[in-house]
Structure 1
Amino acid sequence: MPKQVIHSATIALKLPLDTSAEEEAAALQAAGIPIDAIGNAASGFLFVRCTKDWKNPTKIFRWFATDIGQVAL
C-alpha cells in the first residue's frame, strides 16, 4: 500500500461568507497570504472552500507556501 502524503497548510483563515471582497483581501494580507491585485495567490497555492453549516456559513482559506507536491526550501 502506498504511503499517504498529508499536506499541512502554511496559513489557514476562516471568514464569514458575507465578507466583502475588500475585507477579504485585507484579512488575507493581514494573515500573511501574498495576494495580487485581483485576490489570487501571488505565490504558492490558495485553496478556498465554503462550509456546509447553514447557521454560520464561512469560507475557509488554506494557503500553501509552495505548490502541492513541491518541497519547501
Structure 2
Amino acid sequence: MTKKNYQDKNCDLDTLSKDINSWFSNQGYQVQSNKTEGAWVVQAQKTEAWRKAVGASRAFNIVIQGQPNDFFLK
C-alpha cells in the first residue's frame, strides 16, 4: 500500500474526501465513505455482474488521515 504525505497544504480534508468520492462516482464506481475522528475512508468498487463472474470485482480503499497542514493518503 502506497502512502503519500502532504505538509503545509492547508487542505480542507472534508472537501478532499468529497472530491475523491465524486471523482470515483463520476467514473462509474459505487462509492461508500466514512468519517471517524481524524480519518476519512473512501471505498470505491465497480459492481457489474460480469466483474463478479470473472473475479474482477475489487474495491479501492483510500484513507485520509491527519490535519489540514500535515496529512497523508494511503
TM-score (norm. length: structure 2):
0.30
Higher helix share: 2
TM-score (norm. length: structure 1):
0.30
Higher strand share: 2
